[in-house]
């Protein structure tokens, strides 16, 4: 079982819709959770971090964490074509908090 | 404010050679991590340095090594290159507080022929 799992996609949503990206992780002691966006040919860019159960909102982005279900998600409201990218989920664990373990990413396509 | 700077951007090397990649972190950041990104394996952690000490290491062979200098700049070395080492090598920096997110550089694209 992979440590961090994501559906590779592509996830296709129409412009203006809500995109929902999901991530599950295997280690119950996972401590910190991050969403990175990576455009083709570019490096990952941090867009959200979440550390405790519940929702965290930043602009059009909402991260949701459920530690009991070992599940973290990212919602993108009012999706724009510029949101088309690969979204990477990453976690850190107690004792290795400086090591990010990444999922393989979900490719999001926002269509006109 | 300057971001994470990696040099060179592109590199072509021959099997068996060695290579050194450089990373300058964001000013004030003391933690530097290195990752390898390939289409098949995704982003994989190589190692992390904080105040010139390696704090964490990933599951890569000993041919991959790194170091950090007193000004927080870091270098990564790969010896006896193999074709499978062809990848995007990404450096990321952080203040070093446990659990905070990292900022990535643009990467060095290494091709081994």
- pLDDT for A47-93, tens place per residue? 999 999 999 999 999 999 999 999 999 999 999 999 999 999 999 87
Q: What is the pLDDT of residue A99?
A: 85
Average pLDDT of the segment spanning B21-40: 94
Q: What is the mean pLDDT of chain B?
A: 93
Residue A10 preceded by cis peptide, ω within 30: yes
Secondary structure class of B48 (helix, strand, coil): strand
- Does residue B68 belong to the interface with chain A, where contact is any CB pair within 8 Å? no
The answer to whether A83 and A108 are in contact (CB under 8 A) is yes
The values of phi and psi at residue B84, to 5°, are -70, -5
Q: Do B45 and A49 touch (CB under 8 A)?
A: no
Question: How does pLDDT run across A17-40, given as a tens digit for each residue?
Answer: 999 999 999 988 888 899 999 999
Q: What is the pLDDT of residue A83?
A: 98
Spell out the residues 6+ positions from residue A3 whose beta carbon is closer than 8 angstroms to its own: A25, A26, A27, A91, A101
Chain B residues whose CB is inside 8 A of the A43 CB are 90, 104-107
């Amino acid at each position: 079982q992979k440590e961090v799992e994501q559906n590779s996609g592509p996830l296709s949503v129409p412009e203006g819709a809500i995109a929902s990206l999901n991530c599950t992780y295997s280690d119950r002691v996972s401590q910190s959770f991050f969403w990175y966006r990576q455009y083709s040919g570019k490096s990952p860019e941090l867009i959200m971090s979440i550390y405790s159960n519940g929702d965290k909102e930043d602009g059009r982005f909402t991260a949701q964490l459920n530690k009991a279900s070992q599940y973290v998600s990212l919602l993108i409201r009012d999706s724009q074509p510029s949101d088309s990218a690969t979204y990477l989920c990453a976690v850190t664990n107690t004792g290795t908090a400086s090591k990010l373990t990444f999922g393989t990413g979900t490719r999001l396509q926002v269509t006109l | 404010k300057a971001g994470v700077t990696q040099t060179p951007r592109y590199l072509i090397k021959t099997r068996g050679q060695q290579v050194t990649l450089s990373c300058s972190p964001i000013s004030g950041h003391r933690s530097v991590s290195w990752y390898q990104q390939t289409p098949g394996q995704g982003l994989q952690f190589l190692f992390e340095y904080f105040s010139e000490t390696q704090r964490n290491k990933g599951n890569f062979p000993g041919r991959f090594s790194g170091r950090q200098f007193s000004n927080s700049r870091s270098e990564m070395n790969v010896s006896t290159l193999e074709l499978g080492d062809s990848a995007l090598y990404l450096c990321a920096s952080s203040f070093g507080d446990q659990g905070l997110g990292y900022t990535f550089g643009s990467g060095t694209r290494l091709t081994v022929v």
